[in-house]
């Protein structure tokens, strides 16, 4: 990630990399509505985003939340994966359409109206929503806005779309890689309720290179496991997680290696941005677990560290209370009755070795260096209108029981996180 000194500089960068790949058109539109569920003195804002293929899209894939109370858009989106082709994706923020009476029917009615304006059949459109759980979509306001939204196709960039779908996000998130004669561009939203499988996030990946549907879906699942399913902000899995990848097929096909590399880099960059942009995040924590018996164990050990409230709060306070890391790891191993020998473990923070062969390696000077290291990695969560730097708190865990590894990203736990979520609907 590049470094920026102002919000304007960052947004200019997003505009440069957020140009839409060939074969797609985007549009954004703001509307206002009064929620049925809560009295408000003035109408609330909602943004609509439409991604439309210039021709029907046959190579597409999606992954969705594993939360057992999925939102209506997830229910509909899963069905759409069975279609031979799609035309587009309709996204809204502010209201997630989860658990509301008639949510699926509302989504389907809106998509039917969209098809009448944008072409194709209702089954060729996928919905995606994010925002407050339990509220009904303002169906009337959305239906009235659809003709104007369709007329605006071709006027928005991926950067515009990333801005439009934000909720508690401090800044938009876009990533791009050149790919053969074309490109792969992704944009995402997500800041809180981040604990995959996926996270509370919407991610949209657009490419103009030709790729077979089966290859697209296989690699999307593999890369999601290594990126979006290896991040956590607060340990809460959303009801609305959606990851969609669409190929227009305008440009020539690339090799499988080239495709997988580009997809991994774009998804990895977006995953890091989601954590860095996490609600109240002052430190990004990267836990690299190596020499584990298998990938799943490595990933879950990493998550045990980044999801520990005691580890999170210590890092937020720039307090190298390293015993909390051992406690979190030992808790996970013990509760799952894993046969991992602590005498083989090594734990490092930054360049410092803090634990080896079953005992801590600590002294006063190391304590001071660790505290300074944590302070250097910090951000001010109250002034985070753009990513101020790319520093992280690096924790490396050597398990000594195999050859598998995983990298997990997480965040600390700050006063600002509590304030933001206490005031979310205010």
Helical residues (DSSP H) of 173-322, grouped into ranges: 213-226, 256-276, 295-306, 309-316
* φ/ψ bin of 249: left (φ > 0), alpha (ψ from -120 to 50), beta (otherwise): left
Set 28, 200, 239, 242: catalytic member: 200
Q: What six digits make up the tokens of 299? A: 């990933």
Q: How far lies 354's CA from each of 64, 333, 362, 395, in Å?
A: 39, 19, 6, 10
* φ/ψ bin of 120: left (φ > 0), alpha (ψ from -120 to 50), beta (otherwise): left
* Catalytic (active site) residue 200: yes
Helical residues (DSSP H) of 26-102, grouped into ranges: 72-80
Q: Which helix (H) or strand (E) holds 207?
A: strand 202-209
Residue with tokens 């999307």: 220
Number of separate helices (H) and strands (E) present in the chain:
12, 16
Q: How far lies 393's CA from each of 276, 288, 356, 360, 378, in Å?
A: 12, 11, 19, 19, 9
Catalytic residues: 200
């Amino acid at each position: 990630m590049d470094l920026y000194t102002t919000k304007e500089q960052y947004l200019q960068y997003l505009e440069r990399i957020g140009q839409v790949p060939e074969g797609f058109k985007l549009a954004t539109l703001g509307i206002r509505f009064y929620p049925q569920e809560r009295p408000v003195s003035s109408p609330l804002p909602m943004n609509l985003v439409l991604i439309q293929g210039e021709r029907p899209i046959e190579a597409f894939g999606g992954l969705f939340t594993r939360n057992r109370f999925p939102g209506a858009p997830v229910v509909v989106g899963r069905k759409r994966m069975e279609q031979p082709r799609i035309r587009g994706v309709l996204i809204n923020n502010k209201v997630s359409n989860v658990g509301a009476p008639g949510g699926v029917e509302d989504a389907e009615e809106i998509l039917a109206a969209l098809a009448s304006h944008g072409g194709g059949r209702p089954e060729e459109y996928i919905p995606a929503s994010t925002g407050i759980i339990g509220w009904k979509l303002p169906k009337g306001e959305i239906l009235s806005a659809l003709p104007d939204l369709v007329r605006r196709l071709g006027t928005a960039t991926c950067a515009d779309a990333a801005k439009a779908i934000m909720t508690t996000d401090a800044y938009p998130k876009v990533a791009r890689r050149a790919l053969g004669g074309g490109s792969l561009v992704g944009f995402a939203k997500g800041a809180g309720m981040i604990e995959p499988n996926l996270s509370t996030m919407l991610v949209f990946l657009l490419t103009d290179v030709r790729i077979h549907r089966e290859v697209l879906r296989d690699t999307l699942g593999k890369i999601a496991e290594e990126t979006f399913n290896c991040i956590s902000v607060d340990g809460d899995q959303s009801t609305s997680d959606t990851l969609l990848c669409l190929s227009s097929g305008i440009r020539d096909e690339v090799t499988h290696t080239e495709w997988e590399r580009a997809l991994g880099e774009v998804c990895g960059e977006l995953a890091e941005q989601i954590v860095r942009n996490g609600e109240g995040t002052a430190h990004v924590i990267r836990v690299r677990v190596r020499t584990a018996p298998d990938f799943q164990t490595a990933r879950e050990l990493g998550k045990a560290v980044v999801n520990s409230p005691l580890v999170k709060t210590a890092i937020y306070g720039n307090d190298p209370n390293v015993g909390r890391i051992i406690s979190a790891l030992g808790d996970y191993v013990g509760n799952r009755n894993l046969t991992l020998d602590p005498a083989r473990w090594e734990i490092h923070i930054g360049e410092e070795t803090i634990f080896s062969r079953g005992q801590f390696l600590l002294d006063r000077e190391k304590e001071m260096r660790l505290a300074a290291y944590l302070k250097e990695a910090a951000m001010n969560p109250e002034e985070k209108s753009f990513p101020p730097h790319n520093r992280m708190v690096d924790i490396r865990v050597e398990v000594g029981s195999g050859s598998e590894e995983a990298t997990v990203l997480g965040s600390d736990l700050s006063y600002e996180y509590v304030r933001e979520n206490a005031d979310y609907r205010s």
